Amino acid sequence: MDTLISVLVVFFVVVDPIGLVPVFLGLTQGFDARRKRMIALRGTALSLAILVFFAYLGRQVLHALGIEMPAFRIAGGALLFWIAFEMLFQRRSDRKEKAADEARTDEEAHDLAVFPLAIPLIAGPGAIASVMLLMDQYGRDWQGQLIVLGAAALVIVSAALLLMFADVVRHLLGRTMILTVSRILGIVLAALAAQTILSGITAIYPPG
């Protein structure tokens, strides 16, 4: 149970389903309710498929590139720390909103579920790095794999529900509350990122 909670926290902080709500509303402005639901469902389903792909084949990709897991832990931890920094100072929200605006003015806007919703807003570099790191840490047996992928699925499902009812969520919480929650989660993510970097360093240079 402790492992499940820890993995859930990582995915929830990195994906940040609550923080996606205002971005999604700006992204889908002008669409009717049915179209919004379709975009939310398609985007979250595709993002889950991407995470499953990297969960099982990400290590092979790294090996093909000659990258060892300790090095990936350090790089992944640094990436997560940068995401935490952005969350604390609201830069991540601004960047996501900028990506949404660019999508509306480009041809990619015809399929918002793929870009930028699934990639990079949900299954972005942080989420991909997280699923690979967690699979390396806990996925050595089928139970660990089930915990990691189950936690990822729970977070993605929660994101799908929040996006499908984004108008209600924004009305209930308000933008200020959403940003406050994102900043609190940013502090948690910074600590997790520091721990990931330390584990990568100690794997290369064992203490004692």
Q: How confident is the model at residue 96 (pLDDT cuts 50, 70, 90)?
A: low
What is the arithmetic mean of pLDDT over 122-129?
84
The token duo for 36 is: 């919004």
- pLDDT over threshold 60, residue 105: no
CA dist 20 and 121 (Å) reads 8
The confidence score (pLDDT) of residue 208 equals 63
What is the arithmetic mean of pLDDT over 149-153?
96
- Which residue in the block uniquely carries the two structure tokens 């794999």? 145
- pLDDT over threshold 50, residue 57: yes
Which position has the higher pLDDT, 88 or 10? 10
What 3-state DSSP class applies to 165? coil
Main-chain phi, psi angles of 28, to 5 degrees: -105, 15
Which position has the higher pLDDT, 200 or 97? 200
CA dist 28 and 19 (Å) reads 15
The confidence score (pLDDT) of residue 124 equals 79
Using one digit for the tens of pLDDT, what is the confidence trace for 173-193? 777 776 777 677 777 768 877
Supply the pTM of this predicted model: 0.72
Q: How confident is the model at residue 131 (pLDDT cuts 50, 70, 90)?
A: very high
The confidence score (pLDDT) of residue 108 equals 42
- CA angle (62, 63, 69) in 5-degree steps: 65
The token duo for 58 is: 């990400």
